Structure 1
Amino acid sequence: MPVTLSILYRGPLSSCNYDCHYCPFAKRHETAAELKTDRLALERLVDWIKTRTGDSLSLFFTPWGEALTRRWYQAAICELTRLEQVEKVAAQTNLSYDLDWIENANTSRLALWCTFHPSQTTRARFLSQSRRLTELGVAHSVGSVGLPEDLEEIERLRAELPDDIYLWVNAAKSSNVDYQGELLERFTAIDPLFELNTQYHASLGRSCRCGSSVISVDGAGEIYRCHFIKQRLGNLYEPGFEVCLTDRPCTNQTCGCHIGYVHLDDLKLYPVFQEGILERIPVEIQSGPENSFPVA
Structure 2
Amino acid sequence: MDLTILYRGPLASCDFDCPYCPFAKRRDSREQLRADRAALARFADWAAHQKGDRLSILFTPWGEGLVRSWYRRTLAELSRLPHIQRVAIQTNLSCRTDWLTEADLDTLSLWCTYHPGQTPYDRFLAKTRGLAGHGARFSVGIVGLPEHLEHARRLRADLAEHVYLWVNAAEGHAYSDAEAAVWTELDPLFPFSRRPHQSAGLPCRTGESVISVDGDGTVRRCHFVRAELGNLYDGSYRAALRPRPCPLTACDCHIGYVHLETLPLYDVFAGGVLERIPAQVPVRGAAAPPP
The residue that corresponds to 1:31 in the other structure is: 29
CA RMSD in angstroms, aligned pairs only: 1.5
The secondary structure found in structure 1 opposite 2:262 is: helix
Query: In 2 relative to 1, CA 39–253 (structure 1 residues): closer, same or farther, beyond 3 Å?
Result: same
CA distance in 2, matches of 1:220, 1:238: 11
The residue that corresponds to 1:58 in the other structure is: 56
Identity rate, percent = 50
The residue that corresponds to 1:190 in the other structure is: 186
CA distance in 2, matches of 1:268, 1:287: 17
The residue that corresponds to 2:242 in the other structure is: 246
- 109, 112, 132: which one aligns with 1:111: 109
The residue that corresponds to 1:79 in the other structure is: 77
TM-score, normalised to structure 2, is 0.96
CA deviations on 1:16-56 (whole Å, 9 max, x unpaired) are 00011122557631100000000000000011112111110
- 242, 256, 274: which one aligns with 1:260: 256
CA deviations on 1:230-284 (whole Å, 9 max, x unpaired) are 0000111113532121111100011011110010011121110011001001112
The secondary structure found in structure 1 opposite 2:270 is: helix
The residue that corresponds to 1:41 in the other structure is: 39
Figure out how many residues of one structure are paired with residues of the other and give that number. 291
The one-letter code of the counterpart of 1:151 is L
1:96 aligns with 2:94: yes
Write the mapping of 1:1-296 to structure 2, written as runs, cut at 5 A: 3-23=1-21, 28-174=26-172, 177-239=173-235, 241-288=237-284, 290-295=285-290
Query: In 2 relative to 1, CA 102–23 (structure 1 residues): closer, same or farther, beyond 3 Å?
Result: same
Query: In 2 relative to 1, CA 53–77 (structure 1 residues): closer, same or farther, beyond 3 Å?
Result: same
CA deviations on 1:167-194 (whole Å, 9 max, x unpaired) are 00111123xx331143211111011111
CA distance in 2, matches of 1:269, 1:23: 24
CA distance in 1, matches of 2:180, 2:249: 25
Query: In 2 relative to 1, CA 25–196 (structure 1 residues): closer, same or farther, beyond 3 Å?
Result: closer
Q: CA deviation at 1:115?
A: 0.1
CA deviations on 1:147-177 (whole Å, 9 max, x unpaired) are 1011011111111111111100111123xx3
CA distance in 1, matches of 2:72, 2:155: 27
Unpaired runs of 5+ in structure 2?
Answer: none
Q: Displaced runs of 4+ in structure 1, greater than 6 A?
A: none
Unpaired runs of 5+ in structure 1?
Answer: none
Contact 1:15 1:25 in 2 (8 A): no
CA distance in 2, matches of 1:163, 1:144: 16
Contact 1:14 1:64 in 2 (8 A): yes
Contact 1:10 1:218 in 2 (8 A): yes
